[in-house]
């Protein structure tokens, strides 16, 4: 099967130009750093649309499929607009994400509201904006959602989120399908959940089941197994309660290539496994093929984005034969290395063709010993003023960023066809203190 974007480390149109500088989609990264400052998030529109189309093509043989972008990976108005125009709906998990896609003029019928502790205000916002589906996560939410739907005189279509009892080999913090999870109903609770909805909730219409098995997944069999669990449970509930559950949301989770050691499957491969499992298990359990929802996030935006930093100070530690270089960002603009021990690839963006390589550790600027972006990476003689390009930061960089140490959040630019455009402005000091109250 051909490679898809999630199997590459660099955005699609990355190369060295005649100056010896890195460029993406015709935009010189050193010039971007000079124009917009650093740290700087850079998103490549070509890569973004290429992976979106790879997903659509991979599932094109299945006529009842809804592609839903997992907004938590990266949510800006511009990204939402681009992906919606590419045919994607949205999995949203907060009022802020709902507000952002609405601001981007997304048709809210193509959105699913997910999460384990939605607030009353968020649910009211979602229903007033005519959200397509709410993925119900617990008994408290069933009753709260029904009360709000009654008050608004609406019948809300819902999916029931279950934990399928499948563990994938990924970091424990991003496993979501195993039984001991904060998300969803386990399979011993689904009967009571369905009975509660049918007997006590006049304003909820259950359409199907929803499950996630995790994130940064490299296996394929877990998707086959997840679908079997969902189809088997759908058939059982349909028969027992005379239902017609016809929708199945399998989440997302496909991994990407952060370093050369990573070997995620292609989009085509997981599509093959998913569609084969649907066909096999619908035949096995005598069920009509359902409407499929799939929710990729990281694999859509991860490889499409890089972060640019300027190298500042450096430090040699002779006793350990080690060298640190420090950049002007770190754990506040990309907390994943500190939180998960996440690994990244990087290179110097400016021309260093004649410089020898040396092993260094890239440290962030924040007041934490654990603020290390990349340990023991080989770079071409990094010096103060060099521009460092860290790959695969499109997912969970900006979306998890903070103002730790009261450092300003970076800007984000979109590059395409030798043109760059700001899609997130750099935060200012006045914006940083605009909500402060002096007593």
- Positions marked active-site: 367
Residue-by-residue DSSP string for 210-254: E----SSB--SHHHHHHHHHHHHHHHHHHHHHT----EEE----B
How many beta carbons lie within 10 A of that of residue 16, not counting itself? 13
Residue that the structure tokens 């955005």 belong to? 11
Nearest in space to 249 (alpha carbons), one of 90, 84, 119: 90
**Beta-ladder partners of 411:** 40
Q: Is the dihedral of CA 95, 99, 102, 104 positive or negative?
A: negative
Decide: 84 and 132 in contact? Cβ < 8 Å: no
What number of other Cβ atoms are within 10 A of residue 60's Cβ?
10
Tokens of 194: 């369905």
8 A C-beta contact, residue 87 and residue 63: no
Taking the C-alpha atoms of residue 121 and residue 114, their distance in angstroms, rounded to an integer, is: 14
Kind and range of the H or E run holding 347: strand 346-348
- Residues whose CB falls within 8 Å of the CB of residue 60, separated by 6 or more in sequence, listed in order: none
């Amino acid at each position: 099967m051909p490679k898809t974007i999630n199997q590459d480390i660099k955005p699609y149109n990355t190369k060295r130009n005649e100056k010896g500088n890195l460029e993406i989609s015709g935009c010189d990264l050193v010039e971007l750093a000079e124009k917009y400052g650093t740290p700087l998030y850079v998103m490549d529109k070509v890569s973004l649309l290429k992976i979106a189309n790879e997903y659509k093509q991979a599932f094109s043989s299945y006529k009842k499929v809804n592609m839903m972008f997992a907004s938590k990976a990266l949510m800006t108005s511009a990204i939402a607009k681009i992906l919606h125009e590419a045919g994607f709906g949205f999995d949203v998990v907060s009022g802020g994400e709902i507000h952002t896609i609405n601001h981007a003029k997304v048709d809210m019928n193509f959105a699913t509201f997910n999460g384990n502790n939605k607030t009353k205000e968020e649910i009211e916002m979602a229903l007033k904006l005519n959200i397509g589906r709410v993925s119900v996560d617990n008994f408290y939410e069933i009753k709260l959602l029904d009360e709000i739907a009654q008050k608004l005189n609406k019948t809300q279509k819902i999916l029931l989120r279950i934990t399928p009892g499948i563990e994938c080999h990924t970091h424990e913090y991003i496993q979501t399908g195993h039984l001991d999870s904060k998300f969803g109903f386990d399979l011993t609770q689904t009967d009571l959940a369905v009975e509660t909805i049918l007997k006590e909730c006049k304003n909820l219409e259950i359409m199907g089941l929803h499950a996630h098995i995790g994130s940064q997944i490299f296996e394929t069999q877990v998707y086959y197994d997840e679908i079997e669990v969902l189809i088997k449970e759908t058939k059982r509930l349909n028969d027992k309660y005379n239902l017609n559950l016809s929708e199945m949301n399998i989440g997302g989770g496909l991994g990407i290539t952060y370093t050369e050691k990573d070997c995620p499957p292609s989009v085509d491969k997981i599509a093959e496994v998913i569609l084969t499992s649907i066909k096999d298990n619908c035949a096995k359990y005598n069920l009509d093929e359902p409407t499929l929802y799939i929710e990729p996030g990281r694999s859509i935006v991860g490889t499409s984005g890089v972060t640019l930093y300027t190298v500042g100070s450096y430090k040699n530690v002779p006793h350990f034969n080690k060298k640190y270089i420090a950049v002007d960002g770190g754990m506040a603009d990309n907390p994943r290395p500190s939180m998960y021990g996440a690994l990244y690839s990087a290179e110097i963006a400016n021309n260093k063709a004649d410089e020898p390589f040396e092993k260094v550790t890239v440290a962030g600027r924040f007041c934490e010993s654990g603020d290390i972006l990349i340990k023991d990476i080989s770079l071409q003689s990094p010096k103060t003023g060099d521009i460092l390009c860290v790959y695969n930061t499109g997912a969970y960089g900006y979306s998890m960023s903070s103002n730790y140490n009261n450092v300003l959040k970076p800007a984000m630019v979109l590059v395409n066809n030798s043109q760059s455009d700001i899609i997130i402005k750099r935060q200012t000091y006045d914006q940083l203190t605009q909500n402060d109250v002096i007593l």
